[in-house]
Amino acid sequence: MRKPLVAALTVLAFAGLGTAPAVAQEPATAGAGTSGVGKSIDTETATSVVHDLVTSATATLKQTASPSLSAVTLAGTVSLSNCSGSVVRFPNSLDTDPALVLSNGHCLTSGFLDPGEVLTNASSSRTFGLLNSSGTRVATLRASKLAYATMTDTDVSLYQLTTTYATIKNSYGISALTVQDTHPTAGTAITVASGYWKTLYNCNIDGFVYRLKEGDWTWKDSVRYTSACNTIGGTSGSPVIDQSTGKVVAVNNTGNEDGESCTVNNPCEVSETGAITVRKGINYAEEIYNIPACFTTGNQLNLNASACTLPKP
């Protein structure tokens, strides 16, 4: 899974900054697993200055090597203490609804969730750095609760914020990204927008994986990128955006780093017949088109809705 620590240390060493900055975690979420997520810089501390310097330099280098498309920017993405994310809405969300932040289930501050574990409506006051189109942090948003999180079948977390879409738009001029409620299509040109690194990765959807297995976890119908999306640690939770519509079609979560088979940080593809394929250097995302059916009026979670297929506690 795309954890930020190794990437951050690599950039710091390259920049000649010496030792890594201090790290911090938010309070653990009740009921979460005990395995540790890769820790990174707490954006609420003075070390965020170092983080901003490093991420800005990284973004500059990335844009120089591969200019971003004008159709997709960083507006609406957020930086977490250890991952990336985005402010999202569903097709039926209202401007007066409490806003939601989308990220990965493995990005919880308390660590990885166990296979089969699902969290719903858990207390949370986690903060998120809201970015504008150029990647400048314009606000700090705060969660009122963790609405949903799991690493079973998919790898997703959704936080409900203390503010509405309308307030965010009126205060900062930033609109939420809309979640596409239909299955993505192979060949689609996409952008993986990382709020943590303030960087855009452009490529295409190469295809879909019947089962993606990584360590103890298995995900269904995962999105496989073409090789141009060479995502790194810290990009976990980034929205995968359709370049033609601007809608979010998936959430970035992992990649095979070392060519190993089915181990942590080395997911393998499993076909319907059980055949295993390993693609070193290839990265993946999890689909989210089924999530809108699980949220009702006021952006409230309803796992009992007839069309909802998300795993239940």
pTM of the model: 0.83
**pLDDT of 114-151, one tens digit each?**
999 999 999 999 999 999 999 999 999 999 999 999 99
- Residue 210 phi/psi, 5-degree rounding, is -55, -50
Helix (H, G, I), strand (E, B) or coil at 61: helix
pLDDT of residue 89: 98
**pLDDT of 33-70, one tens digit each?**
323 322 223 333 333 333 443 444 444 344 434 444 44
How far out from the chain centre does Cα 153 lie?
16
User: Is residue 174 a contact partner of residue 164, using CB atoms and an 8 Å limit?
Assistant: no
Residue with tokens 């959430």: 251
User: 78: which 2 tokens?
Assistant: 């957020």
**pLDDT of 142-161, one tens digit each?**
999 999 999 999 999 999 99
pLDDT of residue 4: 54
User: Is residue 278 a contact partner of residue 259, using CB atoms and an 8 Å limit?
Assistant: yes
The 10 Å Cβ neighbour count of residue 209 is 21
How far out from the chain centre does Cα 193 lie?
9
The candidate with the shortest Cα–Cα distance to 81, out of 30, 45, 31, 121, is 45
